[in-house]
């Protein structure tokens, strides 16, 4: 049985993670442009293909059994090496909702490349299951392929975490450190404080702050503020309008404190973010009959 959610699972849940399998390209010469508005996953089942990008990369050829994850906005494409070649490549679009951003996305590499092999980061069994599923069309096959693509994406992230070097900084480097990895989950809890996180870890506040800052590349207070803003954005996206309730559920000390955090992190107000997320005007508070002054409005 699984214990508490790990930081990667929690992040993917928060981002509404899912995959959409892209249709295969049968035309020759074979070519698939990278998505500009989303992360994409590409798995080479058979043959090989060339990788066209506008910046240096390890090498420019993907062989059978290699998995490539491409960050959104990366210019380039996969293509066959000749007019006669038609490699078998499964591609998927990765859907992630991040109205208030997320440190995982901020630290995501432009290209993430790995190969099926042994070890905890291997996706050989997933690739085998995908090959078996696609070899014979069955009912529900596309739905199964979608979930297998999701597994491939997560396994690629595992590989990226395992490949972190000692001088890397950011969210993935925090995942790679056994101590900070546990504290990363505590940072996301409503009402989390640095003192509370240090107490859970059995360490002093200073040592906890120093270790988190060393791997995160930013101060723990900024990470805590970002976590509160993301929780507030989730509630705003669901249509919640009571900023006092949002502040309490997000773990902020007050409505005013939440509004300051939104401006510091996102450069916008709570009501402006609500309008952007819900695509309609923020509802005004109606004045009660006989009241001598208009009811207060949330900060705009």
Q: What is the pLDDT of residues 172-228, one digit of tens each?
A: 999 999 888 888 888 888 778 888 888 887 888 899 899 999 999 888 888 888 888
210 and 150, same domain (yes or no) = no
How confident is the model at residue 25, as a pLDDT?
Answer: 62
On whether both 67 and 210 belong to a single domain, the answer is: no
Q: Name the residue with tokens 């995982």.
A: 104
The CATH number of whichever domain residue 192 belongs to comes to: 1.10.10.60
Residue 291 falls within a domain, yes or no? no
Lookup: tokens for 145? 């392929």
**290 domain-assigned:** no
In whole angstroms, how far apart are CA 60 and each of 39, 43, 151, 272?
19, 15, 25, 44
In a domain, 256, yes or no: yes
User: Hey, what are 268's tokens?
Assistant: 């916008």
285 located within any domain: no
Contact (CB, 8 A) for 63 and 48: yes
Instruction: Establish if 2 belongs to a structural domain.
Output: no
Q: Report the alpha-carbon distance of residue 268 to residue 266 in Å, rounded.
A: 5
The verdict on residue 104 lying in a domain is yes
- Contacting residues for 32 by C-beta, under 8 A, at least 6 apart: 22, 25, 42, 77, 78, 79, 89, 91
Same domain for 232 and 207, yes or no, is: yes
With a CB cutoff of 8 Å and minimum separation 6, the contacts of 95 are: 16, 17, 18, 19, 20, 38
Domain span including residue 215: 173-278
Helix axes 194-201, 205-216, angle to 10 degrees: 100
Tens of pLDDT along the chain (300 residues) come to: 444 568 899 889 888 899 999 876 655 668 889 999 999 999 988 888 888 887 766 568 888 889 999 999 998 999 887 766 678 888 999 999 887 788 899 889 999 999 887 555 678 888 888 888 888 778 888 899 899 999 999 999 999 999 999 899 999 999 999 888 888 888 888 778 888 888 887 888 899 899 999 999 888 888 888 888 988 988 998 888 888 899 998 888 888 888 898 898 888 888 898 998 888 888 876 444 444 444 444 444
**What's the N-to-C CA distance of the chain in angstroms?**
46
pLDDT digits (tens, 9 = 90+) for 147-166: 999 999 999 999 999 999 98
Residues 151 and 220 placed together within one structural domain of the fold: no
Q: Answer yes or no: do 124 and 227 share one domain.
A: no
Question: What span, in angstroms and rounded, lies between the C-alpha atoms of 273 and 279?
Answer: 10
Dihedral of CA atoms 121, 123, 124, 127 in degrees, nearest 10, equals 180
- Whether 92 and 70 map to the same domain: the answer is yes
Residues 224 and 265 reside in one and the same domain: yes
Q: Do 151 and 22 share a structural domain?
A: yes
Residues 144 and 217 placed together within one structural domain of the fold: no
Q: Supply the pTM of this predicted model.
A: 0.84
- Domain membership flag for residue 289: no
Residue whose pair of structure tokens reads 């107000």 in the numeric block: 269
> Domain tally for the chain?
2
Helices (H), ranges, the chain: 7-14, 103-106, 124-135, 141-162, 171-176, 178-187, 194-201, 205-216, 220-237, 243-250, 255-266, 270-278
- 112 three-class SS: strand
What is the residue-wise DSSP string for 124-168?
HHHHHHHHHHHHS--TTHHHHHHHHHHHHHHHHHHHHHHT--TT-
Question: Are both 154 and 26 inside the same structural domain?
Answer: yes
**Domain assignment of residue 299, yes or no:** no
Chain centroid, CA 278 distance in Å: 21
Residues 84 and 182 in one domain: no
User: In this structure, are 35 and 91 located in the same domain?
Assistant: yes
């Amino acid at each position: 049985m699984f214990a508490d959610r790990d930081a990667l699972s929690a992040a993917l849940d928060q981002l509404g993670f899912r995959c959409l399998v892209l249709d295969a390209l049968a035309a020759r010469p074979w070519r698939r442009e990278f998505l500009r508005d989303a992360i994409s996953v590409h798995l080479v089942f058979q043959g090989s293909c060339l990788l066209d990008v506008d910046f240096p990369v390890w090498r420019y050829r993907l062989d059978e059994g290699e998995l490539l994850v491409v960050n959104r906005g990366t210019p380039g494409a996969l293509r066959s090496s000749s007019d006669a070649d038609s490699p078998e490549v499964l591609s998927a679009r990765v859907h992630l909702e991040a109205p208030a951003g997320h440190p995982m996305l901020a630290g995501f590499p432009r290209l993430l490349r790995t190969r099926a092999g042994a070890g905890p980061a291997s996706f050989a069994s997933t690739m085998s299951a995908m090959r078996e599923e696609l070899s014979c069309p069955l009912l529900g096959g596309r739905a199964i392929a979608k979930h297998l693509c999701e597994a491939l994406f997560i396994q690629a992230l595992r590989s990226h975490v395992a490949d972190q070097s000692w001088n890397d900084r950011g969210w993935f480097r925090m995942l790679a450190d056994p101590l900070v990895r546990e504290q990363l989950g505590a940072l996301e809890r409503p009402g989390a404080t640095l003192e509370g996180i240090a107490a859970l870890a059995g360490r002093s506040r200073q040592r906890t702050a120093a270790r988190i800052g060393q791997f995160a590349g930013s101060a723990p207070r900024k990470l805590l503020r970002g976590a509160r803003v993301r929780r507030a954005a989730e509630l705003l996206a669901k249509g919640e309008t009571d900023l006092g309730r949002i502040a309490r559920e997000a773990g902020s000390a007050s409505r005013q404190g939440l509004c300051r955090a939104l401006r510091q992190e996102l450069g916008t107000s709570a009501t402006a973010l609500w309008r952007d997320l819900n695509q309609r005007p923020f509802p005004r508070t109606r004045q009660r009959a006989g009241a001598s002054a208009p009811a207060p409005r949330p900060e705009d």
